[in-house]
Amino acid sequence: MTEFHGIIPPIITPFKENGDVDYDAFVHNIEKWNNDQLAGYLVLGSNSEAPFLSREEKLKLIELTASNAKAGRTILAGTGLESARETVRLTNDAAKRGAQAALVLTPSYYIDQMDDPALIQYFKEVADHADIPILIYNVPKFTHLNVSINVAKALGEHPNVAGMKDSSGNVEQLSVFFKSASENFQVIVGTAGALLPALKIGIRGAIPALANAAPNHCAHVQRFFEEGLIQRAEELQQRLTPVNTAVTATYGVTGLKYASTLMGYHGGFVRNPLRELNEKAKNDIRRILGEAGVLGPGS
Amino acid sequence: MTEFHGIIPPIITPFKENGDVDYDAFVHNIEKWNNDQLAGYLVLGSNSEAPFLSREEKLKLIELTASNAKAGRTILAGTGLESARETVRLTNDAAKRGAQAALVLTPSYYIDQMDDPALIQYFKEVADHADIPILIYNVPKFTHLNVSINVAKALGEHPNVAGMKDSSGNVEQLSVFFKSASENFQVIVGTAGALLPALKIGIRGAIPALANAAPNHCAHVQRFFEEGLIQRAEELQQRLTPVNTAVTATYGVTGLKYASTLMGYHGGFVRNPLRELNEKAKNDIRRILGEAGVLGPGS
Amino acid sequence: MTEFHGIIPPIITPFKENGDVDYDAFVHNIEKWNNDQLAGYLVLGSNSEAPFLSREEKLKLIELTASNAKAGRTILAGTGLESARETVRLTNDAAKRGAQAALVLTPSYYIDQMDDPALIQYFKEVADHADIPILIYNVPKFTHLNVSINVAKALGEHPNVAGMKDSSGNVEQLSVFFKSASENFQVIVGTAGALLPALKIGIRGAIPALANAAPNHCAHVQRFFEEGLIQRAEELQQRLTPVNTAVTATYGVTGLKYASTLMGYHGGFVRNPLRELNEKAKNDIRRILGEAGVLGPGS
Amino acid sequence: MTEFHGIIPPIITPFKENGDVDYDAFVHNIEKWNNDQLAGYLVLGSNSEAPFLSREEKLKLIELTASNAKAGRTILAGTGLESARETVRLTNDAAKRGAQAALVLTPSYYIDQMDDPALIQYFKEVADHADIPILIYNVPKFTHLNVSINVAKALGEHPNVAGMKDSSGNVEQLSVFFKSASENFQVIVGTAGALLPALKIGIRGAIPALANAAPNHCAHVQRFFEEGLIQRAEELQQRLTPVNTAVTATYGVTGLKYASTLMGYHGGFVRNPLRELNEKAKNDIRRILGEAGVLGPGS
């Protein structure tokens, strides 16, 4: 099974002003990221506005990612839907388009029923029938539920469960997941704000939103850490954290897309109901990128 | 524009044990409901397990509802998706299959961004481009957001917004929505537990889960009320409330499907990640239906 | 044991501009309410800003309430604190100052531990040692927990538990509590927005914030209902609901105090961290009271 | 103003089986901690069951802490109550008993009104009138609100605001608070799970629950870090994290008290509504302490 090692951006989906997917801009981004120090691509994560896309758009984006990615990069696709059945169907269609593993969001609509046995039953069925390995995707800020250690343990032994991406932002939880799960259950950190703490726990893979706009900065944190340049890793992590806050907690995916545009990628428009940023927000993001040295002469 | 007057069940979707939609059972249910005192059908609401269905299944279910419904009954379809664009597309395809109005769930995935302007922007775009009138669908227990009176007012004047279904269960909120919105903005109550209080406010339409299993009991509450038999309406409402609690708060859609089966409809299986009821739960539902006089000799 | 029948205002605490309790204003209010159609007084409920008061202030306010209340009116005191021990101590001191029953808020600070057995253990200990009967006080908007029917059932048989005040605003829940609990377990409605629906369920007591500002209007809803003048009860309930929303959900206790001032009671200042209303809010409340006919020539 | 550097346990309050505070056990603990590598004591934090204590008990515990603490240790007292007025009063009484700074919990009962201006107004008034410096205490899991960076900035310049204890567990937030606030605004980490990450940000003070049971282990993390023995710091942090999870998230203060007992301190009983641990929970804690090498031959 694939080992997740390195930085994988959860790539954004640029839209045209009329709301169409801007596939040319999408390919431009991949080509540019191909020159960056990345281990792969996650297409159709939360930062791709996946919930806004049609099935056809999703499959085309997977295909474009797989066909344009530099050789050797891992292709991950977000395929979680509310039912195990539809998730299996999308996962296997994604596999046909080149996805090598699937990131499967926890179902959450009928939240009162989504207890541990329900989640275990769901992920077990998906894993049993998926043609590619799956990763559990835990992102409480969107789903309003937090995967328990019991769910992780129950699924950790399944041969087709590769592990989990945890975007809770809680380092203690990452550590508990990392230690408690089986050896084959990989824990991937889902936010750049916890990147270095996660590496120190022993985690080796990251899927941080920030890697859209600042892929090499994220990669350098990991490289410095792995080369034993702890001090430099720390300094860079400290510089990146406020940037990460801006493109996640403060301004969300709209902010991430604008930051990506500032860095030479094509952010494009968001889809309604998301709203474009006003000038004040744009200036704020530009300033934060500048202060962090991500944007500008010293970047 | 359609006036919503009477009881409209948010109809369940029976599945076979293998997870396929049981279309025959679905049609059986409609034929049986055709003999009940109902004003129409809502297909693809929360109780239909709509989030678990494929687009094709959704369209087929709309078609079957429209083609099997008794003449004169209103056909409503749940078409809300996270983006305005996909919602418009599904709404207009639903219209082609016979839907006469669309129930549009509030988007909620990017919840921190779903403030009033975002919701207004979303519903305005959907209403502008939908070929049929739309109803806002407010169901905080699933979406974790509650539509504000400002959103209702802003959309109340739109010629293609028919009104809103409120499933908050909060009678005071229903009353405020009812009074504050424009004359053309219809407020529909979304839970049988608040049926009679809603009627007293002046609300004339209801889309209660319970109407799957006990359509005539719901209809009788309204008929008694409208005929001035207030005491009988009250008594019946009191009897129905615990049944409603059982098939919504306590056991969810799985409980509703089992209660519907007990009443002669075809509940069928649920889709994973929902789990089938154990015997204790089934006995509890049977007992509650019996005590309410909904099931059994006196029903 | 006392039967709770009629309207009991959860009385406000007027403060001077310097933050001292304005005991004269407090007594003025009671004297004025003595002329209104009320069944008693709840001192130290949520609308009294009880969490802001010292123990000495609390005891003095109980004493003043008991000594100034019209003969025959029930004196209730809010005595719930986080530990059973401190709650018992305050309850029994309250009893010495004239409280005839105690309203005991659910503990909630250590919320993850506040499961059913913890709540049952807590209320059982309080009831065992209280010199006066206790009522459970369920107010999820402040405590973030909702008392379950199992807790109500477990405590319903205790000879010193008189019942519960439910301020959830959920009529269905009120109904389930009312039906499931024992005969001696009285359910009291905690919000004027649900007053008439509660009466119809069979509930006979209400402790609504609105009864501070509009005691007779609340009392008339109940009188009309009990005299069979259902239509008049309905009309009045409909008029009062938006007023209730203004003095609870929209503007909170600060709004309630201002509305009370407009109606001739002494609202006084709030304590920090609450903030005084701005002019816009004041105008809004005045307008809402006017439109409802509560304030003004026709009131 | 005091600089917070080092580990300060938020000390537990041992109760006797009859619920009385066990002051002898309390003093025993302080005497034992006096031999540990600690910078001070926080009395009346969340782990002291402060919400369960009377005012008299609180003041006595402060006095005992101050009079029994080893010379040179900082005495902090938790004095936050819902109103600014009562908080000032308790803070100044605490100062008279020997508290050198006060930890002030965010008010949260009237949560809908607790916006930034309300919190700023509250802390400003407390700081203006407190005889000792105050620290803002942010603990969202108990208060259901999270202090914003704007509140921290607004208060950061106040001469009597020493800083803030953040127990959110979110390292990114700690970092943003640390960087954005003024130089005189100290950020203190409130959970051992984030201890080393916090130190790396530049934070120098910690008030972690775990320091009750394992004070020197916590202190060693900091000492190793400050001596540049990063690898040893990392290893120890990794060992401690699951212990911390057990005595906070999993078993709460009851678990913390039991772990403290196992380590030779006097945990004592909890007060109702908290419940004593069952044997399974006790064994689990013992096992976790053992596996971490905190308890046992190698500890």
pLDDT at C299 over 80: no
> Do B and A count as touching (3 or more CB pairs closer than 8 A)?
yes
Q: Is residue B293 part of a domain?
A: no
Handedness of CA D17, D19, D20, D25 (dihedral sign): positive
- The pLDDT-based confidence of C184 (bands split at 50, 70, 90) is confident
Residue A201, pLDDT > 90, answer: no
Q: Which residues contact D24 (CB under 8 A, 6 or more apart)?
A: none
The residue of chain A nearest to residue D193, with distances taken between CA atoms, is: A172
Query: Distance (Å) from the C-alpha of residue A111 to the closest C-alpha of chain B?
Result: 7
Closest chain C residue to the Cα of D89, Cα to Cα? C54
User: Could you tell me how many CB contacts below 8 A there are between chain C and chain D?
Assistant: 109
- Number of domains into which chain D is organized: 1
Is A256 inside a domain boundary? Answer: no
Rounded distance, CA C226 to CA C240, Å? 18
Q: Assign A239 a pLDDT band (cuts: 50, 70, 90).
A: very high
The pair phi, psi for residue D84, each rounded to 5°, is -60, -40
Q: List residues in chain C touching B: CB distance below 8 A.
A: 169-172, 175-176, 179-180, 191, 193-194, 196-197, 200-202, 230, 234, 237-238, 241-242, 244-245, 249
Q: DSSP characters for chain B?
A: -----EE--B----B-TTS-B-HHHHHHHHHHHHTSS-SEEEESSGGGTGGGS-HHHHHHHHHHHHHHSPTT-EEEEE---SSHHHHHHHHHHHHHTT-SEEEEEPP-TTGGG--HHHHHHHHHHHHHH-SS-EEEEE-HHHHS----HHHHHHHHT-TTEEEEEE-S-BHHHHHHHHHHS-TT-EEEE--GGGHHHHHHHT--EE--GGGGT-HHHHHHHHHHHHTT-HHHHHHHHHHHHHHHHIIIIITHHHHHHHHHHHTTS---BPPTTS----HHHHHHHHHHHHHTTSSSTT-
Q: Which residues does chain A have within 8 Å of residue B51's beta carbon, measured at their own beta carbons?
A: 81-83, 109
Choose among C144, C252, C272: nearest Cβ to D112: C252
Instruction: Report if residue B281 sits inside a domain.
Output: no
Residue from D153, D168, D241, D248 whose CB has the most chain A CBs within 10 Å, to mutate: D241
Query: What is the structure's pLDDT at B297?
Result: 58
In a domain, B148, yes or no: yes
Q: What is the pLDDT of residues D211-265, one digit of tens each?
A: 999 999 999 999 999 999 988 998 999 899 999 999 999 999 999 999 999 999 9
Decide if D102 is inside a domain.
yes
pLDDT value for D3: 87
pLDDT over 50 (residue D299): no
pLDDT above 90 for C79: yes
User: Which residues, 6+ apart, have CB-to-CB distance to A109 below 8 Å?
Assistant: A82, B46, B51, B142
This prediction's pTM: 0.89
Residue D157 has pLDDT above 50, yes or no: yes
Q: Which two tokens stand for residue B251?
A: 């056991």
Between CA D299 and CA D240 the distance in angstroms is 12
pLDDT band at C298 (very low <50, low <70, confident <90, very high): very low
Q: What tens digit of pLDDT does each residue of A256-297 get?
A: 999 999 999 999 999 999 999 999 999 999 999 999 999 975
Average per-residue pLDDT for chain C: 95
Q: A140-162 pLDDT, tens per residue?
A: 999 999 999 999 999 999 999 99
Task: Categorize the per-residue pLDDT at D298 as very low, low, confident or very high, splitting at 50, 70 and 90.
Answer: very low
Please report residues of B whose CB lies closer than 8 A to that of C225: none
Look at residue C267 in the predicted model and tell me its pLDDT.
98
Residue A179: its pLDDT value, please? 85
> Cβ neighbours of residue D154 under 8 Å, at least 6 residues apart?
D116, D120
Report yes or no: C138 and C167 within 8 Å, Cβ to Cβ: yes
Over the stretch C5-31, which tens digit does the pLDDT of each residue have? Answer: 999 999 999 999 999 999 999 999 999
Of B176, B179, B241, nearest to C172 by CB-CB distance is B241
Contact between D256 and D47 under an 8 Å Cβ cutoff? The reply is: yes
Cα–Cα distances in angstroms (integers) from residue B247 to residues B11, B253, B281, in the given order: 13, 7, 11
Residue A181: pLDDT band (50, 70, 90) is confident
pLDDT digits over C123-160, tens only? 999 999 999 999 999 999 999 999 999 999 999 999 99
Q: In Å, how far is A235's CA from the nearest CA of chain B? A: 30
Q: What three-state secondary structure class fits A167?
A: coil
Q: Confidence class of residue B298 from pLDDT cuts 50, 70 and 90?
A: very low
**Residue A268 belongs to a domain:** no
DSSP line for D114-129? --HHHHHHHHHHHHHH
Q: What is the domain extent for residue B144?
A: 6-233
Query: Quick one: pLDDT at residue D217?
Result: 98
Arithmetic mean of pLDDT, B261-287: 97
Distance CA A210, CA A214 (A): 6
What is the value of ipTM here, to two decimals? Answer: 0.96
Query: Taking residues C198-207, what's their average pLDDT?
Result: 94
Segment C57-83 mean pLDDT: 98
β-pairing, D101-105 vs D161-166, is: unpaired
Q: What is the mean pLDDT of residues A54-64?
A: 98
C-beta atoms of C114 and D273 within 8 A: yes
Nearest CA-CA partner of A8 in A198, A186, A164, A215:
A215
Catalytic residue, from D60, D141, D165, D282: name it.
Answer: D165
pLDDT given for residue B196 in this prediction = 94
Which of B83, B111, B254 is opposite residue A52, by nearest beta carbon? B83
Of A257, A252, A276, residue with least CA distance to A267 = A257
Structure tokens at B180: 């504050």
Contacts of D110 in chain C (CB under 8 A): 142, 252-253, 273-274
A101-149 tens-digit pLDDT: 999 999 999 999 999 999 999 999 999 999 999 999 999 999 999 999 9
Query: What's the pLDDT score for residue D1?
Result: 60
Contact D196 A200 (CB under 8 A): yes
Q: Which three-class secondary structure state does DSSP give residue D44?
A: coil
Q: Report the pLDDT value the prediction gives residue D182, as an integer from 0 to 100.
A: 80
pLDDT digits (tens, 9 = 90+) for A5-15: 999 999 999 99
C245/B172 Cβ within 8 A: yes
The reply to whether A253 falls in a domain is no
Q: What is the CATH number of the domain that holds D116?
A: 3.20.20.70
